[in-house]
Amino acid sequence: MRAISYRDLARQHRAKLLQSVACAVGAGKTVAVRASAASLDPSRHVFIYLANPTVGVRGMLTHIVATLGHTPAFHRSALTPQAAEALATEHAERGRNPVLVVDEAHLLDNHQLEAIRLLTNHDMDSGSPFAVVLIGQPGLRQRLRLGVLAALDQRIAVRYHIAGMNGADTADYIRHHCKISGRADTLFSEDAIGLIHNASRGHPRAVNNLALHALTAAFAADHSIVDEKAARIAITETATD
């Protein structure tokens, strides 16, 4: 599975880009976020990560302002212009492009989404750069298409969907984890990997769970490798959890 490159998105800063990334539960978005954050040059970008959007408008704006090193305004009415100004100042005075990433964005309420739109609307002609990335479950896409959010939806320049891994990627993923665990030899049969891939639909979290259950089943049967039978036991067990 190829990680989303927020660094490349941030390079397109003058468009004040809004990005939407939708993915199923367990598709690896948290790993993608961490990898992308690590890839950003801290001398050129400042990464603002909101992991819990249920904090409301005030909490969201306070987090942005505080992350950029400012003291948040007490009154909510002053927070939106303060956050917008802090984002613009970060580039103008420090030469860094802010990248605001909102995880679990499907949990944002309409007031928060409107606040994000206002941030992108602030001083539009100045070209002050920052990127906004909304990451959420597939329902996020349908949510943004609601008429009440049309103004925000029209600002979204790039839309991504993180799909599950294909069969070859799932096999490489399992073998890689075996290798870093100290097993370079074959531990999962091809049939077992194929069953795990189909049952998990290539989503990393489900692959992990099935592989662990299959390992346990193989150990209980005193087998040296995870075979098709162990994989089927794992699929049955996880389906009834």
Give the domain ranges of the chain: 6-162, 167-240
Question: Which residues, 6+ apart, have CB-to-CB distance to 55 below 8 Å?
Answer: 62, 63
Question: Which residues, 6+ apart, have CB-to-CB distance to 108 below 8 Å?
Answer: 53, 102, 116, 134, 136
Q: Using 50, 70 and 90 to split pLDDT, how confident is the model at 12? A: very low
| C-alpha torsion sign, points 55, 111, 4, 131 | negative
131-136 and 156-162 strand pairing: unpaired
Q: CATH for 167-240?
A: 1.10.8.60
Question: How far is Cα 193 from Cα 189, in angstroms, rounded to an integer?
Answer: 6
Tokens at 65, concatenated: 């302002």
**Is CATH 3.40.640.10 the classification given to domain 6-162?**
no
Residue 235 has pLDDT above 90, yes or no: yes
End-to-end CA distance of the chain: 27
Which value, to the nearest 10 degrees, does the dihedral of the CA atoms of residues 135, 140, 141, 142 take? 180
Res 232: pLDDT? 96
Per mean pLDDT, which range of 15-19, 190-194, 208-212 is the poorest? 15-19
Phi and psi at residue 99, to the nearest 5°: -125, 105
Name the amino acid, one letter, at 63. H
Could you read off the pLDDT of 112-170 as tens digits, one per residue?
999 998 888 765 545 556 788 888 888 888 888 888 888 888 888 778 888 889 999 99
Q: Cβ distance 170 to 193 under 8 Å? A: yes
Question: How far is Cα 91 from Cα 72, in angstroms, rounded to an integer?
Answer: 19
Mean pLDDT of the residues in the chain: 85
Residue 25 burial class via C-beta count within 10 angstroms: exposed 0-12, middle 13-18, buried 19 and up: exposed
pTM beyond 0.85: no
* 219 or 128, greater pLDDT: 219
